A and B are shown apart, each in its own frame.
Chain A
């Protein structure tokens, strides 16, 4: 079996076209890592923006001054600092460089300032300048505003019928369960990592699709099937070896890519803040999943892995059934891009929330408000898609084996 699997892997990696595919993967990794690292910039006292290791380090240093529990006192201090800078000459200047100089002084507490914007803006609104008008009296209601905004939104005319009373109570309870005060730490590394993680995961699934979609159909395309199926193990162990080879390729490529990507981004931008609640990040403020950045990362990478396995094995199943590599290659594209086309149809949002593309972007899925009722329990889409696609993947494997076994 090991020898058969080794030869199956050799079949895949000896093809010239697949060597190009591997180069594409490396290029994708470099490009996506570059964008992720470039998304974190530091503006120095001269108003110049820079990115890279030194910039990330300088920004981290500025932000670390604000590390600690975000108590009312800290919030007050942020408002004071913010007001002080807002009254400075640089800030009031119309010159962009001068404005940048003013911003450079806000960088250290900019994340906390954004939280204030989020808390005191509406649930579905965002106003960058909202923090500038928050009064010291108001700031004491910082944490309660988060839940209040949710309740207001849930009771709005548009959302009134979308959620049942039980679902509304579930969301409110989730919000109230979130431990406060938040602990602030620089999480730029994790933020950037998670922002581009779906991109790298999707590129991996699309590109790996070219590698694995021929595992089954190539025997027929190359007319090597007669010798293959007339061999002693042609209808059992040799098929299992193909499945094993597919599993190895998907697993190795995914983990090499995702770990290299994570390593590069975190090495440059820093690993601080892994234990902090995701809600301290700008994009996750509203999430009802009470998890840390590390948990978010683990869910994202394991979700990506499960999604890769499911989509690519489905692609292999299509390859085995239709004997067409071309058709099999399109499966990842269809599964990834079709939901994007349908996303505008609001009635489909619950169904779209359960499609396999969601596994490739768990860090995005945790920001959505798709709820499902299982018996008497209300759950978000993330645990459902994990359970559902684990089961479906386990179903695809024997089906793939049987379909190919019965090839005539």
Chain B
């Protein structure tokens, strides 16, 4: 299975949301990282044939996915960022309806829906109306519908957004379980989710992929170092204006700062191993004060 994005571009009335992306993806979990408005959702919607590109194309094993139409969508599972549903439908009814529009035969659909309901932990809620479910449960219904056709391509747009830590961990593990032998593209701005489950990371900014690779490869691309130091409270303001601060924690003896900088920021600073969050901040973050911020 090979999915190729060839010079893929999407413009909305002069605004370039996706800017000439060239990418080849195969099986595995791809984490798409980027700030809000980077173009992640637009890219994913094109991968789901929901939006037509204004330039370039997307090819599945050499075939244009927009030409493949239903044949391609048969391989696809999609959980959108704004997962909408039919409030009066029960979980079971909803899954059976989606199974029908996915072209799954009724007998197989019933079996598959039942299995997935168990797998996502919604057995007791199977007959409940969707409008009565919690946010986390709705997301689980979302992943279940995406998995109904056992898709080779699974696209998940911000699947853990708005979930509490327990639900998030549970959901993350579920995605890990489901990701075997398929292509999964997972978009989020919760960096730790990507860190835990993605094999490949794609960093997106202003509609373009600015960095890609494994976690270690991505981290190694950062030319600056990460430092830990404890500074007095009164120095914090100056430090935040001068450096990118990836973390700040008040301690008894001062403030513990995690700083991204090419140079040693202070005498007591200790160089530490960078995390994906540091890299994210390095590429996408802004130093406090860059735009006269006072925070």
Contacts and interface: CB of A to CB of B under 8 A. Distances in A.
Contact of A227 (B52, B84, B106): B84
Interface in A115-144: none
A231 interface: yes
A227 B86 CA distance: 12
Contact size range, A? 20 to 34
B6 interface: no
A10 B49 contact: no
Nearest to B88: A14
A233 interface: yes
B70 A235 contact: yes
B174 interface: no
Interface string B140-173: 0000011001000000000000000000000000
A227 B78 contact: yes
A175 to B, nearest CB: 58
Contact of A230 (B49, B84, B88, B100): B49
B80 A227 contact: yes
B196 interface: no
A11 interface: yes
Given A14-B89, A226-B80, A4 B100 contact: yes
A238 B101 contact: yes
A24 to B, nearest CB: 19
Contacts of B45: 226
B49 A222 contact: no
Interface residues of B, number: 33
Contact of A232 (B73, B83, B106): B73
B85 A224 contact: yes
Interface string B81-110: 011111111000100111011110010000
B103 A233 contact: yes
A225 B50 CA distance: 9
B76 interface: yes
Contacts of B22: none
B69 interface: yes
Contacts of B100: 3-4, 7, 233
Which of A223, A231, A237 has most B Cβ within 10 Å?
Answer: A231
Contacts of B73: 230-232, 234-235
A11 B86 contact: yes
Given A223-B82, A408-B51, A408-B52, A15 B88 contact: yes
B80 A7 contact: no
Nearest to A236: B70
A228 B85 contact: no
B74 interface: yes
B58 to A, nearest CB: 13
Interface in A228-283: 228-238
A235 B69 contact: yes
B88 to A, nearest CB: 4
A233 B70 contact: yes
Contacts of A4: 97, 100-101
B48 interface: yes
Interface in A12-48: 14-16
Most buried by A among B45, B87, B101: B101
A234 B70 CA distance: 8
A230 B86 contact: no
Nearest to B129: A14
Given A7-B96, A227-B84, A232 B52 contact: no
A408 B50 contact: yes
- Central interface residue in B70, B76, B85, B93, by most chain A CB within 10 Å: B70
Given A233-B70, A234-B73, A235-B70, A226 B97 contact: no
A19 to B, nearest CB: 10
B84 A225 contact: yes
A11 B98 CA distance: 13
A7 B87 CA distance: 13
A224 B96 contact: no
Contacts of B97: 3-4, 7
A231 B102 contact: yes
A230 B76 contact: yes
B13 to A, nearest CB: 13
B102 A226 contact: no
Given A233-B70, A236-B70, A228 B88 contact: no
B48 A230 contact: yes
A226 B84 contact: yes
Contacts of B83: 223, 226-227
Interface string B114-155: 000000000000000000000000000000011001000000
A12 to B, nearest CB: 10
Given A7-B96, A226-B45, A233 B80 contact: no
B85 A10 contact: no
10 contacts: A14-B86, A14-B88, A16-B88, A222-B87, A227-B78, A231-B73, A232-B70, A234-B73, A235-B70, A235-B73
Given A4-B97, A222-B86, A231-B73, 15 more contacts: A3-B97, A7-B96, A11-B88, A11-B89, A16-B88, A219-B84, A223-B80, A227-B83, A227-B146, A229-B48, A231-B98, A231-B102, A232-B70, A235-B69, A408-B50
Interface of B: 45, 48-52, 69-70, 73-74, 76, 78, 80, 82-89, 93, 96-98, 100-103, 106, 145-146, 149
The 9 closest A-B pairs by CB, nearest first: A223-B84, A14-B88, A226-B80, A224-B84, A7-B97, A230-B48, A231-B101, A232-B103, A238-B101
